[in-house]
Amino acid sequence: MSIESVLHHLNCSKTVAFNRLAKTVFTHIPEPITINIRKYSDEFLCPNLLRGMDYLRFPQLNKGLAFTMAERQTLGIQGLLASAVQSQEEQLAICTYSLSRFKNNLNKHLYLSELLDTNERLFYELLGSNIPKYLPLVYTPTVGLACQRFGLVYKKPKGIFISIHDKGRIYKILRNWPIPHVRAICVTDGERILGLGDLGAYGMGIPIGKLCLYTALAGVPPSMCLPVTLDVGTNNQSLLEDPLYIGIREKRVQGCEYDDFIEEFMEACCEKYSHNVLIQFEDFALPNAVRLLDKYKTRYCTFNDDIQGTAGVIVAGMLTAARITKKKLGENIYLFLGAGSAGVGIANLICDAMAQEGVSEKEAVEKIYLFDIDGLLSTKRPGGIPKHATKYGKDLEPTKDFGAFVKTCKATAIIGVSTVGGAFTPAILKQMAENCERPQIYALSNPTIKAECTAQEAYDNTEGRCIYASGSPFPPVKYNGKEYHTGQGNNSYIFPGVSLGVLACYAHHIPDTMFLTAARCLAKNVTQKDLDMGRIYPSLSDIPILSCKIAVDVMEEAYKNNLASVYPKPKDLNKYIADYIYKTKYDDVRPDFYDYPESRGVQVKTVEEMVKQFKSKNK
């Protein structure tokens, strides 16, 4: 279809046409788009040319049985649907019930994935209806399993795979994505998927899951998001031999070839989607993660979630813990198990937060100890200290005995980012309880099996005195006849809000300070009720509201530091964000074109009523 025929059909100018089309199909574009229409001529969907069936085929448009009779007649889909007309609430009740019938979480994940392929708004409506219940099904821990089984899970394209053999053609491949106005890309090369190691192209589940959270937790319109997997091979032998493996069956490419490939990818993204397209790096392995962030953070609108997002959420937890312990950040001793992307990212942001308390960098660094697979980061150890963590090297004798060191350094906070499930043994936890009145225990490795200790273990071994957070959710803890609901120290509290703010004001860079801003905003929103329940984070259900607050603070910072590109600055940022975000409720199809009387006449039932009705019918 040529652009000329589209314009002829619409009888209007190119820019007006595009804005009208884009606004109709992707109804959630808040700002006018000024684009080079030629660039998009071969790649956008024109609603006026859509055939009726397309309204059922495209998940962005589909409402299933919720199309009213008037809409069905208007769109020419009468008869393609059964006669019943359902409300979105009724559909939600059916989905809630259907999902509850699956016993296995991977099957639930698959059900949700299919719903996303069928009816996007219903999918997000369902997710939003109970975030604590559904988040673990689209995110950690289930997403880890889905990645491991991605060969079975993979059905329809939800993102783009770019392989090392596509070098020289990345721009062309990006053009194959059917939606033109992508604003946020989440990219992985699959080398460090959660704590599960190198999953190669199976890692695609992660960018898909993270971008789902952009929408579910921050209202970023899904059409703006593009998941990408860079398939540079895998060093995971079992995948290379797995008949179901969907990636290239070669060892990982490294060195200059890898770097050139990433460079071409970054350039192609900007050429295709404008220079401030946001690129979130996710689950890259250690040397690449740190190196690429350093290389690109001042050249592109980019951040590394494992380094910076994680730092934001953990510093927020520590700021909240300070309200319980009555100790400033600078009055603690921090001991890390794991000195990789997450560990050093957190340590660096703790230093930045301490600097705001007036602690010098030297003093801050003195309060932070890190262990990696080779033991304490000691200047005396053979093999030295990895470059990204040099400043944390201590002039102490090398040791690999983390447990003994908990006592030696008198740690008041231990942070597990090691991928070693169960590494915080009962002895270590007991020692923490001796070190201070309210020890902080962060068992952050994902998925659940990789957590350094469970919530229950932490309580049981610290006489219930610990302040605990984990990367994946744990069931409530029972201790001394009381129930505690511990918090999830997961970057999902931070990256959706930061990205929303960055996207909304078209910020062209994302400095580290934005993550401290987000951390402070998150910490400020923890209530006494949260603390009484045993958690240092707000409820997961509050994340959508928190993300909007974080976004507003991020935007304020962007304007203050001349990083924003939307001018004049909106007068009311809260309203601007509220208008910006994706709406999961169905809207009427082309109500301004057609004025059919409503023919539904269906009594709307509540979700509870529907579930009850279904249960009684299916006994």
Ligand X SMILES: NC(=O)C1=CN([C@@H]2O[C@H](COP(=O)(O)OP(=O)(O)OC[C@H]3O[C@@H](n4cnc5c(N)ncnc54)[C@H](O)[C@@H]3O)[C@@H](O)[C@H]2O)C=CC1
**Residues noted as catalytic:** 139, 210
- Indicate whether 194 belongs to the interface with ligand CC(=O)C(=O)O (CB under 6 A): yes
Residues belonging to the chain: 619
In the region spanning residues 318 to 377, those forming contacts with Mg ion, defined by CB under 5 A, are none
In the region spanning residues 133 to 152, those forming contacts with ligand CC(=O)C(=O)O, defined by CB under 6 A, are 140
- Indicate whether 491 belongs to the interface with ligand CC(=O)C(=O)O (CB under 6 A): yes
Which of Mg ion, ligand X, ligand CC(=O)C(=O)O, none does 231 bind, CB closer than 5 to 8 A by kind? Answer: none
CB 442, min distance to ligand X, A: 8
19 in Cβ contact with 25 (< 8 Å): no
Q: In sequence order, what DSSP letters do the residues of 177-245 get, joined into one string?
A: SS-S---EEEEE-SSS-TTS---GGGGGHHHHHHHHHHHHHH---GGGEEEEEEE-----HHHHT-TT-
- Indicate whether 305 belongs to the interface with ligand CC(=O)C(=O)O (CB under 6 A): yes
- Which residue in 272, 264, 273, 271 sits closest to 296, CA to CA? 264
Classify residue 168 as left (phi > 0), alpha (psi -120 to 50) or beta.
Answer: left
Single out the segment in contact with Mg ion by CB under 5 A; choices: 280-288, 366-374, 410-418, 529-537: 280-288
- Which residue in 77, 41, 271, 247 sits closest to 173, CA to CA? 271
Q: In sequence order, what DSSP letters do the residues of 3-59 get, joined into one string?
A: HHHHHHHHTS-HHHHHHHHHHHHSTT--S-----HHHHTTT---GGG--TTHHHH-T
CB 227, min distance to ligand CC(=O)C(=O)O, A: 14
- Indicate whether 198 belongs to the interface with Mg ion (CB under 5 A): no
Which of ligand CC(=O)C(=O)O, ligand X, Mg ion, none does 74 bind, CB closer than 5 to 8 A by kind? Answer: none
Nearer residue to ligand X within complex by CB, 214 or 580: 214
Nearer residue to ligand X within complex by CB, 222 or 416: 416
Give the C-alpha separation, 12 to 31, whole Å: 20
Give the C-alpha separation, 187 to 207, whole Å: 6
Nearer residue to ligand CC(=O)C(=O)O within complex by CB, 486 or 491: 491
Q: Which positions ≥6 away from 369 have C-beta within 8 Å?
A: 333, 334, 335, 336, 376, 377, 392, 394, 405, 409, 411
In the region spanning residues 468 to 487, those forming contacts with ligand CC(=O)C(=O)O, defined by CB under 6 A, are 471
Give the C-alpha separation, 31 to 570, whole Å: 12
CB 302, min distance to ligand CC(=O)C(=O)O, A: 16
Interface pattern 258-297 for ligand CC(=O)C(=O)O (x via CB under 6 A): -------------------------x--------------
Q: Which positions ≥6 away from 101 have C-beta within 8 Å?
A: none
- Indicate whether 306 belongs to the interface with ligand CC(=O)C(=O)O (CB under 6 A): yes
In the region spanning residues 42 to 71, those forming contacts with ligand CC(=O)C(=O)O, defined by CB under 6 A, are none
**Which spans of this chain sit near ligand X (rule: CB under 6 A)?**
192, 194-195, 285-286, 306, 310, 313, 337-343, 371-373, 417-420, 444-446, 450, 471, 489-491
CB 292, min distance to Mg ion, A: 14
DSSP 476: P
| Ordered strands of the 278-281 beta sheet | 160-163, 225-231, 184-188, 278-281, 302-304
Give the C-alpha separation, 164 to 192, whole Å: 18
CB 586, min distance to Mg ion, A: 33
Interface pattern 420-459 for ligand CC(=O)C(=O)O (x via CB under 6 A): --------------------------x-------------
User: 70: how many CB neighbours lie within 10 A of its CB?
Assistant: 20
Nearer residue to ligand X within complex by CB, 162 or 293: 293
Q: In sequence order, what DSSP letters do the residues of 331-344 get, joined into one string?
A: G--EEEE--SHHHH
What does the binding site for ligand CC(=O)C(=O)O look like in residue numbers (CB under 6 A)? 140, 194, 283, 305-306, 446, 471, 490-491
Could you list the residues that contact Mg ion (CB under 5 A)?
282-283, 306
